[in-house]
Amino acid sequence: MRVLLVCLGNICRSPTAEGILRHKLEQAGLADRVEVDSCGTGGWHVGKAPDRRAIAAAARRGFDLSGLRARQLEADDFRRFDYLLAMDRDNLLALEARCPPDCRAYIGLFLDFAGYENQAVPDPYFGGKEGFEEVLDLVEAGAEGLVAELHQRLGAVS
Ligand code: 4NP
């Protein structure tokens, strides 16, 4: 199973979600059955590490994002991944616009799996420190919901 987490710049929200989801999959014993990656619909930050505020906020909760590097969404992602999950509606619309007609992947909002239907992980880039804490709270809830979904789909025993 392959999961791609998608935001705008791939330096704040989706790398945070990538690091946290990977960590929670390890805790659930599913790390070797689910591959996780992230990307941005925009290309301004390609090759860069996550925003230092995102790295610092995640580190305070025990998640290491420092080794991640930004990349941009590519056409092949729609074939390679089973789930393409957007952090907000604009990025969901960007995914839907680029999705090829024969695409069989699930495309939706990341937070749908946390029971927060139609809710976004707000973009923290132009705001203050508290925005990064909100991202962490929402992403932790989303990642836990997604682990439960994957657990069920894979039929794994806890
Ligand atoms: P992200 O945040 O989409 O969560 O990575 C952003 C990062 C950079 C920009 C916008 C959002 N930017 O405009 O450069």
The domain limits of the chain are 2-154
What is the structure's pLDDT at 118?
Answer: 87
What is the structure's pLDDT at 155?
Answer: 86
Please give the distance of CA 129 from its chain centroid, rounded to a whole number.
20
Quote the tokens at residue 109. 């909002």
For atom 10 of ligand 1, which residue has the closest CA?
9
The model's pLDDT over 69-124, given as tens digits with 9 standing for 90+, comes to: 999 999 999 999 999 999 999 999 999 999 999 999 999 999 999 888 889 999 99
Which among 5, 8, 132 is the best mutation to test ligand 1's pocket, defined by most ligand atoms within 8 Å of the CB? 8
Catalytic residue numbers read 7, 13, 123
Count of C-beta atoms within a 10 Å radius of residue 11 = 28
Pick one of 3.40.50.2300, 3.30.428.10, 3.40.50.2000, 3.40.50.10140 as the CATH number of 2-154.
3.40.50.2300
What is the structure's pLDDT at 80?
Answer: 98
Is the CB–ligand 1 distance for residue 39 below 6 Å? no
Is the CB–ligand 1 distance for residue 53 below 6 Å? no
CB-CB contact of 8 with 42 (8 Å): yes
Residue 42 C-beta-side C-alpha neighbours within 13 Å: 12
CB-CB contact of 142 with 113 (8 Å): yes
For the entire predicted model, the pTM comes to 0.96
Is the CB–ligand 1 distance for residue 147 below 6 Å? no
The model's pLDDT over 24-75, given as tens digits with 9 standing for 90+, comes to: 999 999 999 999 999 999 999 999 999 999 999 999 999 999 999 999 999 9
Is the CB–ligand 1 distance for residue 140 below 6 Å? no
Sign of CA dihedral 78, 81, 82, 86: negative
Is the pLDDT at 22 greater than 60, yes or no?
Answer: yes
Is the pLDDT at 19 greater than 80, yes or no?
Answer: yes
Closest residue by Cα to residue 138 from 79, 61, 83: 61
CA distance 42 to 33: 29
CA distance 113 to 139: 11
